[in-house]
Structure 1
Amino acid sequence: MSGGATFYDLFVIGGGVNGCGVARDAAGRGFSVGLAEKDDLASGTSSKSTKLVHGGLRYLETLEFGMVREALREREILLTIAPHLVRPMRFILPVAPGARPAWLLRLGLFLYDRLGVRQKLPGAKALDLRKAPEGAALRPDLRKAFSYWDGRVDDSRLVVLNARDAADRGADILTRAEVMRTRVEDGAWRIALRDRQTSAEREIAARLVVNAAGPWAESVLRGAIGARNPPRLRLVRGSHIVTRKLFDSDAAFLFQADDGRVVFAIPYQNDFTLIGTTDVDHSGAPEKAAITAEETAYLCRVASAFLARGVAPPDVLWSFSGVRPLNDDGGGTAAKVSRDYAIDETGIEGAPLISILGGKLTAFRHVAEQVVDRAAAHLGARGRAWTATPPLPGGDFSNGDLAAVEKDLAAKYPFLRAAEARRLAHAYGTLCDEILGAARRREDLGRNFGMGLSEAELDYLAGREWARTAEDVLWRRSKLGLHADAEKIAAIDAFLAGEEK
C-alpha cells in the first residue's frame, strides 16, 4: 500500500440508513470517517420501506415490548430533529369480523400509547365509522374503528441527509465504490475499493470497520472480509404497490388480513395510494428482489376487503420490493421473525469489526449511537453521544412548523406554485435557499425539466447530495419518478452526465 493512502479511524461499508447514521454520529464525535456504498445512497432496503416511523403496533402480539418501546422513543426524537422529513400521521384501524376483537385492539393501543414518551402525538381513541368522515373510504358494513398516531417519513431523504451531515462534519462519503477485498496488516484494515463507474481501484486503511451492508452484511463477511462462520441472516422480502388515489382522507388505514398479518394503505405523494407490505422469504441476490403476481394479488385482495373502492392488479402503477435482513432464528414464518437487531463484534486477526444485523428503520439513530459507543471502546473516546438533539440539515425551524416554512418559501419566491413550494419545503426544509438562492423569477433557476424540477435543483443534488443519474433524482432524492416519462428521464440523465451543460 502506498504510504500516501487515506487512513481513517472508522470505515463504514454500506450507505443505507444504518451506515449513514453511523458515519454522522462518528464524525460528530471527532473520529475520521469514510463510508463506501457500492451503488447510490439508500439504493437498497432503505428506500423501499413502508415510509413510516413507528413503534410497530403488531409486535406487541409477540411480546417484543423492548423493541416497541425503543422505536416509540426514537419516533419522538425523529419528529423533533427531522420535522421536514418525519411528520405526524393519523391511522385508522377498522374492527373487522373474524379478526382481532375490539377489546384486544383497545388494549394494544392502550399499551402503545404508554410504552414510550409521547409529547408530539395525540393518543388513540375509538371511532364510529358511521359518523366519522374516514368511514366514507371504507366498506359500509364496517362500523367500528380505532384511530392512533404514528409518523410518516421520506426514507431515502432521511438517509441522504444523514450522509450530508456526516460529510459536513468531515466524513468522506464514497458512492459507487465497492469493497472488493480486505486484509489486516499491523493490526489495521487495508481495504481495496473499486470505482464502479471507472473500474479504477485504490486502497485505503482504517483502524476499525463497521459492516452496515444490510441484506448484504452476511455476504460481505463471507466475501470481502473473509470471516469464518459469520452470523446468518434470514432475508425477507417486503413488497408494496402504488395506485391512483383510492380515498380522499388524509389519514392512513391499517387493515387486518385474514391470515393475521396487517396491511397499510397510505396517502402517497398527494395523488396516489401506497399499499403494503408483504413478508416472504427471499432467496437470491437482494438487488434482484421484485414483487410477484401472488404478492400483488394478496395486497389487492386485502385492500379491497376494506376499502369502498376496490383495487385489482391492473390498477397498479408502480411497485417496489425491499429485502429485510433479519436475524435467522431457524424457524417460524417470515412474518413472525423478530425485527429486532443485533450488533456483532467479531474482530479479524486483532482488527476490530462491528456488524449491524437486522433492525428497523425507526431505530437507526439509536443503533448508530450504540455502534459508535462500541467503536469508541476500541479507538478511544473522543466525544459523547450527541445525535438525539441537533436537527438534520434543513430541519432547523422553530417548533417543527413546516407550514410556516412553506409560507415563507412562497413569499420569498412568489413564482413557485403552491405544490412546488410544498414539495421543496418537505424535501429540503431550510436548505431551500441553497437551491433557489437569489432567484426572482423562474428563469433564474435555469432549465426547466418539468415536474417542478429545475437546473438549479439538479446542480444542488449532484453537488451536495451525490446524485449521478435520473434514477437517483427521481426515485430517491424525490418521488417525481411517478410523474416522469422517458423523455424527461433521458434529459435528466444527459444533464447529469455533462452532455447538455
Structure 2
Amino acid sequence: MNAGKIIDLLVVGGGVNGAGIARDAVGRGLSVLLCEQDDLAAHTSSASTKLIHGGLRYLEHYEFSLVRKALQEREVLLRLAPHIISPLRFVMPHVSSLRPAWMIRAGLFLYDHLSKREILPGSRGIDFRTHVSGAPLKKSLKRGFVYSDAAVQDARLVVLNAMDARERGATIMTKTRLIAATQGQQHWDATLQSTLDGATTQVQARCVVNAAGPWVGSLLSGALNTSARHHIRLVKGSHIVTRRLFEHDHAYIFQNPDKRIVFAIPYEDDFTAIGTTDVEYNGDPTKVTISAEETAYLCESVNRYFDIPVSPSQVVWSWSGVRPLLEEEVANPSAVTRDYRLDLTDEKDLAPVLSVFGGKITTYRRLAEEAMEKLQPLFSYMKTEDWTSHAPLPGGDIEDADFARFLKQFQQRCPWLPAATAKRYAHAYGTRVDTLLEGIHDIAGLGHLFGADLYEIEVRYLIQEEWALTAEDIIWRRSKLGLRLDSTEIGLLSTWLEMQTRMQTRTQTRAQNRTQKQTQNNSSTGDSQSDRVEII
C-alpha cells in the first residue's frame, strides 16, 4: 500500500466478520487494510461448532428472521465453498418428556420451509430399529427425526475470505494491533504495531470498521475513544473430541433436561466432536479454556443417549471460545440472541467508525453486505451491486459444486497420492490443490514428512499463501493435523519454522544492506551516473 495514501477502510479484526467485510468492500472498489492482532480466526471464529446451520433451537425463542436468514445462507455457502462446507444429516432422538413429537414436527416443518432448499433434503421421521443411526443409541430410544444442515472448516472459511480480499487488492496484516487512533474530520490517523517486533505503521483511513469480536467494546473505549451504543455479553462455548463413537456419517442433536441441546458430530474421519456449552465468561478471551465441569456436562449429555458411556478419560482434545453476543436482559446464556447489530457513528464533521456487535459464522456474508449498505452513503464511488453471493471462495470454483466428482477426478490425476491425503487436500484447498502440487508428480516431490501426512510442500504453501507462522497456525487452524501428530513431531515442526524465520530475516537483512550500499554508491558518483541510468 502506497505510503501517504488515505485508504477507505481500516478493518480491525481478522475473524469471519472482519475478513468477510474486507472481501466484500474491496470487491466494490474500496481500498482496504485489515489488521489482526493474532492469527486469522485465532479466537471466536475457530472455536465454533463447525456448522453452517439455521439454528433449529432458535425457533423456540421466536428468532424466525435470524433462522430464515441463516437457512438462506446455508445453500449460498454450500455453492461458494463446496470443498470446506459439506451437507450433513442430523438425527434427533425423540424423548417425550422433553418435547412432544408434534412440537418437533412443527419446528422441522418450519425449518424445511422458512427458506427455499435446492441442495439439502428435508426432514422426516425415522425408526431406530431399522435406521443406521439407531445402532449406538440406547435400546429404549425407538424413534426420532432426521433433518439437514452443513459442516464447515470454520478457520479455513476465514482464511479463504482473507485470501480473496488480498487477491482483489486488500492488504492483510496479521500479528498487527491497532494501538492508537485519532479521529479527524476527513479521516482517522491510526497507529498499527507488529506484535512480532514492535515496529509501527501509520495509516490514514476514511472509516474504521471495528470487527474485533470479544474486544469490540474495549476497542471503542480504548484506541478509538468512542462510546458504544450497544454492548456484548461474553458466553463461553466448549467442545470435546473423542475417538470415533459411531460408524455412520450422520450427526446427532441431543435434547437435555435443562432445555439445551448438545451435538455429537463426525469429525476429521476418525473422531467425534461433542458440544457445546453456554457459560457466562468475564475473563481474558485469549485465555479461555474448558473446565472440568463442562467436560463432565458434555459427557453426561451424550450418555443419556449412547448405549456405551463416554467418560472424560476418552477426551483426546478440546476447544473453547468466547462468543460476543448482543447484550439482552435474559438470565439463560443459551437464550441470548445470535443475531447482530451494525452501529455506524453519526457524529457530524468526524470520520466514522462502523462496529459489529454479535453475529454467527453462518450469516457472516449477509452481515458484510449489510455493512456495505451502511457505508454506501460515505463512498459515492463504491459499487452498489451485491456480488459475493455468486463469487466462489478460493478453491471453490468446482463445477456444479459437485465435490464428489471433483475428488474423483483429482484422485485420477494424482494416483500416486494416498487416498486419505488426496481427500484431505481436496477438502482443504479445492481447485487450489493444483497450485499446491504444481510441478510435483510423486511422493518424493512433497519434501520432508513432519508426521501424519504433513509434508514440507504444504507447510511452505501455508506460509506463503495463507499467513501461517507457527505450528499452531498450521496444525489447529489451517488443518486439524494436531489430532494426528505427537509432541515430538510438533516440536520438530516448530523448530523447522523457527529456522525458516531466521533464514528469511537474514535474507531480508542482506537485501536491505545491499540496497543501502547501492544507494550510497550512487550518491558518491554524482548526478552523471543517475543521468546515465535514466537514459539506459
**TM-score (norm: length of structure 2):** 0.91
- Check whether the contact 1:222–1:230 (CA below 8 A) recurs between aligned residues: no
Query: Aligned letter for 2:495?
Result: A
**Matched residue, 1:273:** 272
Query: Aligned letter for 2:85?
Result: V
- Check whether the contact 1:238–1:321 (CA below 8 A) recurs between aligned residues: yes
**Matched residue, 1:34:** 33
1:116-158 CA distance string (max 9 Å, x none): 1111000100001111111002111000100000010000000
**Matched residue, 2:215:** 216
Comparing 461-470 and 406-415, the one that deviates more: 406-415
Q: How far 1:499 moved relative to its partner?
A: 4.2
**Matched residue, 1:200:** 199
**Matched residue, 2:390:** 389
- Check whether the contact 1:55–1:75 (CA below 8 A) recurs between aligned residues: yes
Q: How many residues align?
A: 499
Distance 2:5 2:40 in 1: 22
- Check whether the contact 2:240–2:274 (CA below 8 A) recurs between aligned residues: yes
Alignment of 1:295-314 (within 5 A): 295-314=294-313
Distance 2:228 2:338 in 1: 22
Partner SS, residue 317 of structure 1: strand
**Matched residue, 2:421:** 420
Partner SS, residue 449 of structure 1: strand
Q: How far 1:456 moved relative to its partner?
A: 1.1
Comparing 184-193 and 388-397, the one that deviates more: 184-193
Gaps spanning 5+ residues in structure 1: where? Answer: none
- Check whether the contact 2:123–2:145 (CA below 8 A) recurs between aligned residues: yes
**Matched residue, 2:190:** 191
1:417-471 CA distance string (max 9 Å, x none): 1000000000000000101112111111221212211111111100110000010
- Check whether the contact 2:52–2:74 (CA below 8 A) recurs between aligned residues: yes
Distance 1:89 1:330 in 2: 34
**Matched residue, 2:487:** 486
Query: Aligned letter for 1:214?
Result: G
Query: Aligned letter for 1:203?
Result: Q
Distance 2:3 2:12 in 1: 22
Distance 1:225 1:423 in 2: 42
Distance 1:4 1:210 in 2: 21
Alignment of 1:167-186 (within 5 A): 167-186=166-185
- Check whether the contact 1:94–1:144 (CA below 8 A) recurs between aligned residues: yes
- Check whether the contact 1:137–1:249 (CA below 8 A) recurs between aligned residues: no
1:76 aligns with 2:104: no
Query: Aligned letter for 1:240?
Result: H
Distance 1:345 1:198 in 2: 33
Distance 1:309 1:377 in 2: 59
1:409 aligns with 2:406: no
**Matched residue, 2:323:** 324
Distance 2:295 2:468 in 1: 31
**1 or 2, which has the higher helix percentage?**
2
Distance 1:111 1:375 in 2: 34
Q: How far 1:331 moved relative to its partner?
A: 2.9
1:363 aligns with 2:366: no
| Aligned Cα root-mean-square deviation (Å) | 1.4
Query: Aligned letter for 1:365?
Result: R
Q: How far 1:286 moved relative to its partner?
A: 1.0
Distance 1:6 1:318 in 2: 46
**TM-score (norm: length of structure 1):** 0.97
Partner SS, residue 137 of structure 1: coil
Aligned identity (percent) is 48
Query: Aligned letter for 1:143?
Result: K
Q: How far 1:97 moved relative to its partner?
A: 3.9
Gaps spanning 5+ residues in structure 2: where? Answer: 504-536
Partner SS, residue 498 of structure 1: helix
Comparing 370-379 and 11-20, the one that deviates more: 370-379
1:253 aligns with 2:271: no
**Matched residue, 2:149:** 150
